[in-house]
Homo-oligomer: A and B are copies of this chain.
């Protein structure tokens, strides 16, 4: 065995499917953390990157700096693909251990991520994803497919960017019964509500400001109608209750009807209004609610926060940046490292 083969036997090979903000964020994080990972004894090698029109392969490890540059200059990461299905080609032609699914979210169909993830699991790859789509209608299928294939499927990045909550529920609170989860799960809505209260702006003006700052999208409906919050709530609930709730199980009210007068009245009485997602085993609701200004859920700005009510650990609250490509990539990286470590134990075998 020559030295190169030996090396590639030791490294953990990943593919990145989807090379938008999150995929590129992950490439940047892997570049900036090269030394940290080396110090941790972790050798992660990206062996394929696919965007919607092109594909880049490199079994010895792709030069991520070049890949980012190519994407910036040409809009494509690699060679154009005729099939239009880079993910399939990667799975069929590139040996690797883990797929990072980072294509854009489609909350209705879950596609193309759903197909990518199921195919990856069927062909022996672990999966880490930031894509909410697949989990909103097919949570149980995904979890069961991973389990059946003895592979890991991690999705911390789907809810609240870097806010650690999925793995918190699954690991730190292992053994606890989750009684209720409530949280502010959308930074755009929270920014708009914070500004409306602070500056007595009406909804339209606060939205415009958020759009100018890049906090709200040109079409803000996904956020302000509560759709994004509802999607995250479904994922949290299914994680906590091992249910198979879907998006259609959530009763949703957005923030578009909230008036400055309502906020002013709330503030006068020591309250404010927040868009709260609340999950119990039987009930999923996203709606604006009065929250005492002293309450942790009265969080300000674009932060996300969630409180988990449990039997043993009582009430645990976590908050953090709800979005951002680097924050999301950080959650993906910690999931990759988690899988890497388990993978190493398995390879090592014995006890």
* Contact indicator per residue, chain A 298-337, by CB within 8 Å of chain B (1) or not (0): 0110000000001011111111110010110111011001
Q: Residue A110 at the B interface, CB < 8 A? A: no
B334 near A174 (CB under 8 angstroms)? yes
B321 near A319 (CB under 8 angstroms)? no
| Chain B contacts for A299, CB-based, 8 A | 296
A176 near B296 (CB under 8 angstroms)? no
Docked Cα-Cα span, A314 to B330, in Å, equals 10
Least Cβ–Cβ distance between A319 and chain B, in angstroms: 5
Add 11 more A-B contacts to A172-B334, A312-B326, A315-B321 (CB < 8 A): A162-B312, A171-B334, A172-B331, A174-B337, A294-B300, A296-B319, A314-B320, A314-B327, A315-B320, A316-B319, A317-B317
* Contact indicator per residue, chain A 209-251, by CB within 8 Å of chain B (1) or not (0): 0000000000000000000000000000000000000000000
| Chain B contacts for A312, CB-based, 8 A | 29, 33, 162, 326-327, 329-330, 333
| Chain B contacts for A171, CB-based, 8 A | 167, 171, 334, 337-338
Q: Residue A173 at the B interface, CB < 8 A? A: yes
A320 near B320 (CB under 8 angstroms)? no
Q: How many copies does the complex hold?
A: 2
Q: Residue A9 at the B interface, CB < 8 A? A: no
Interface residue total, chain A, C-beta cutoff 8 A: 52
| Chain B contacts for A296, CB-based, 8 A | 296, 299, 319
The 9 closest A-B pairs by CB, nearest first: A162-B313, A312-B330, A164-B172, A349-B349, A316-B320, A174-B337, A175-B333, A174-B334, A313-B330
Can you name 11 A-B residue pairings with CB atoms under 8 Å?
Answer: A163-B316, A174-B337, A175-B330, A175-B337, A312-B326, A313-B320, A313-B321, A313-B327, A314-B320, A315-B320, A345-B345
Known: A315-B320, A334-B174. A350 touches B342 (CB 8 A): no
| Chain B contacts for A318, CB-based, 8 A | 316-318
| Chain B contacts for A29, CB-based, 8 A | 175, 312
Q: Residue A148 at the B interface, CB < 8 A? A: no
Interface-central residue, A173, A174, A316, A348, by most chain B CB under 10 Å: A174
